[in-house]
Amino acid sequence: MFSGGTAHFASTLATGEAVDWSLPIAVIAGGGIGFLVVWALTRHTRRIAHEQAAELMEVARREAAVAAEELKQKAEDEIRERRAELRREFDHRQVDLEVSLREIRAHEESLGLLDYQMEQKQERLNRESAAITQARDAIRSLSKSVRKRLEGVAQMDAEEIQRQLREEVLLECQDELRALRRETMERSEQDIQNESRRILIASMQRLASKPNNDLTATIVNLPSEEMKGRIIGREGRNIKAFESATGVTVLIDESPQTVLISSFDPVRREIARVALDGLVKDGRIHPATIEEFVRRAQEEIEQLTTQAGEDAVSRLNINGLHPEIIKLLGKLKYRFSYNQNVLDHSVETAFLASMIASEAGLDPNLAKRAGLLHDIGKAVTAEYEGSHAHIGAEFIKRYGETPIVVNAVAAHHEEVKPETVYAGLVILADTVSAVRPGARAESMAGYTQRLERLEKLALSLEGVQQAFAIQAGREIRVVVAPHVVTDDRARELAKELRDRIETELQYPSTIKVTVIRESRFTETAT
């Protein structure tokens, strides 16, 4: 249609006829519209193609990502499994290696034990061989002497042989009888007991010591009541810091101008006392100065302990003690055993051992040395295990003390067998020093508790109205109800109470039991 119209339009222009422009315009317009429609369809088609291509690419990309993730996860799983397998194999090999090492160590130990046993057997064989050689030499010499004697006897007649034998036997018997008679006369059992009493009494009479007091607390005097508040501090800060630094308990009550320091460790208590005295005199009481004064007090007490050890050694005139032994010995100044000062007890034991040794004809200096060191194990810190006798013996042995002194220290409680007479001297001197009057005072709390237990035991019996412990607990007087307890029953109560006291209580000396049954009738005349 467009080609026909175009040809017609061209022929019209050639003939010169009037041109009808409506048709070309329509043709052009139709062509333009068609072009536009085609162009729009083409563009729409191309856009749809691009969108489809993009969707396909996105799908392909997602599928590729999923495949890659699966491959990655699969690779990680394989790596994880391989790693776990390698770890299991490594653990198994390590266990095998440890088992092998244990077996090797066990073999080494067994070989070492076998070597030790072989060495012991070799030493025993050497000793037996030496003993056999010595015995053989002795037999040979004896055989030679017997041969010579037989040769001499062969030249003598029977009477001469009898006479010579008689003279030899008589001479040997006379010597033995004389020695036995002299020993029996001089060292009879009664004489030994009398001599022992004389030596002990003489030694105890020469020794005069002061009685010991019960010390479990220390009182510190204050210049004023206001100082108590400063010691306590704001919200108890100062007193808490002081107790933490010293390890003691500070008791502040209504007692005027006094503070009580309580501790079962006398060294800590003395350090706390010195530190608190310094703080009170200085006036500056706060945690920083508390730590400074406690440190100074510790240094001062350490110097005092060393000086105490040197004074004890100088007082006894003992030479050659190691400085560490002297330093540890000084720490006994603040130690107490049943309220008896251990350093004073050690010095007292040394004097007693020296005097007993002098009376018995032994070395007084050696006995004095063993007596002074017998309780040194009580000053050793708690990190060492064992009894104080064993620890003290090991300590002085480490610093060069002689075996006699070491054995005397280790055996003074008979935990180790005494090897010398000096160990027995130390045991005796230690006992005398401990049991002498005033040596070991009973604490007031223990004394009161013992009396209360005695009275409660009497009151627990049926028919008892009152019970009184008198004479420091050496007698108990029991008052029974006369309408409940008869005379015969009162006698049985006395025996029953005696038996229960012997069974249930621990007491010194004896306790006298007195049961009182009394009836009183009172009338008043008006």
The domain segmentation of the chain, as residue ranges, is 20-148, 335-435, 444-517
- Please tell me the predicted confidence (pLDDT) of residue 213: 45
Structure tokens at 133: 């050689």
Q: What pLDDT is attached to residue 23?
A: 62
Mean pLDDT by 10 residues, the chain (526 residues): 50 53 69 82 85 86 87 89 90 88 86 85 86 83 70 63 71 68 64 63 52 56 80 83 85 79 78 86 83 87 86 87 87 76 86 86 89 86 74 88 90 85 87 66 64 88 89 84 89 90 75 86 77
Whole-number pLDDT of residue 211: 43
pLDDT for 3 equals 47
pLDDT of residue 480: 92
Round to whole Å and give the CA distance between 60 and 52. 12
What is the b/e burial string over 104-129, where b = at least 16 CB atoms within 10 angstroms of the residue's CB?
A: eeeeeeeeeeeeeeeeeeeeeeeeee
Q: Angle CA(365)–CA(367)–CA(372) in degrees, nearest 5?
A: 95
- Homologous superfamily of domain range 335-435: Hypothetical protein af1432 (1.10.3210.10)
Task: Label the pairing between strands 512-517 and 475-480.
Answer: parallel
**Residue position matching structure tokens 């036997």:** 169
DSSP code string of 116-171: HHHHHHHHHHHHHHHHHHHHHHHHHHHHHHHHHHHHHHHTS-HHHHHHHHHHHHHH
User: Superfamily assignment of 444-517 in CATH?
Assistant: Cation efflux protein, cytoplasmic domain (3.30.70.1350)
Q: Nearest Cα to 345, choosing from 431, 275, 459?
A: 431
Enter the pTM of the model.
0.46
The candidate with the shortest Cα–Cα distance to 304, out of 339, 270, 279, 281, is 270
CA distances from 406 to 332, 377, 410 (A): 18, 12, 6
439: Cα separation from own chain's centroid:
29
Are 487 and 519 a contacting pair, CB within 8 Å? no
Quick one: DSSP state of residue 389? H
Q: Write the DSSP string, 303-353.
A: HHHHHHHHHHHHHHT-----HHHHHHHHGGGG-EETTEEHHHHHHHHHHHH
